[in-house]
Amino acid sequence: MTVSLAIDTATSRTIVGIVDNGVVVFEDFHEGATDHGKAISELVTQALGSTKLVDQVVIGMGPGPFTGLRVGITFAQSFALARSIPWIGVCSLDAIQIDSSTHDLKTDEYTVAIDARRKQMYWASYKAGLRISGPSVDKPEDIATYVTNVYPDIEKLVQLSSTQNVREPIYLRSPDAIPTAERT
């Protein structure tokens, strides 16, 4: 029996859930790309109301904006360290659950995309639910067709933790900050 605390901050949403042996017992989110820091502790406190026993932490490792990812990853790693439990990283795009009937898909091939800011999208393509290309970052007009306004699914995030263990954040572009020595 495994109880997982699942967290994702790769999108504009702070998403937190508790999955007990494959069953979602708590799931909630807070909308706000700049609110991850405040929202994550509030959502985890609520989540722990459903269970105090957590065996592992599953965290979405992106791709996503630098600050949002760092908030979620640092929280997850600190929580796991404090409780002496493992943390497992998963590609956030892989955890997006697509229902072909809801999204009017004609085949089992699709591309999901999330806002990367700066007029770009993070995206990956899938066939039968398995990633076949990406993750990448491009302008929306450079991506053939894609499903957007979708978010990682807590249950799928935890399912993927049995086959993935991403240990580094998935950053797809250079940081905005430049060391003083490199400025012109």
Instruction: Tell me how far apart the alpha carbons of residues 105 and 140 are, in angstroms, rounded to a whole number.
Output: 19
Q: Which of 45, 77, 48, 47 is nearest to 60 (CA)?
A: 77
Q: Which of 125, 43, 131, 119 is nearest to 90 (CA)?
A: 131
Q: Give the pLDDT confidence score for residue 100 in this predicted structure.
A: 66
Instruction: Tell me how far apart the alpha carbons of residues 58 and 36 are, in angstroms, rounded to a whole number.
Output: 17
Instruction: Tell me how far apart the alpha carbons of residues 75 and 80 are, in angstroms, rounded to a whole number.
Output: 9
Q: Give the pLDDT confidence score for residue 176 in this predicted structure.
A: 65
Domain positions in the chain are 3-182
Instruction: Tell me how far apart the alpha carbons of residues 119 and 146 are, in angstroms, rounded to a whole number.
Output: 15
Beta-bridged to residue 15, according to DSSP, are 8, 29
Distances (CA, A) of 128 to 94, 107, 110, 131: 12, 9, 9, 9
Q: Give the pLDDT confidence score for residue 33 in this predicted structure.
A: 86
Which CATH code, of 3.30.413.10, 3.60.10.10, 3.30.160.250, 3.30.420.40, is assigned to 3-182?
A: 3.30.420.40
Q: What is the pLDDT along the chain (184 residues), one digit of tens a residue?
A: 799 999 999 999 999 999 999 999 999 999 998 899 999 999 999 999 988 799 999 999 999 988 899 999 999 999 999 999 999 999 999 999 987 656 666 678 899 999 998 899 999 999 988 999 999 999 999 998 899 999 999 999 999 999 999 999 999 987 666 777 777 6
pTM over 0.75? The answer is yes
Q: Give the pLDDT confidence score for residue 125 in this predicted structure.
A: 96
Tokens of 89: 């990283």
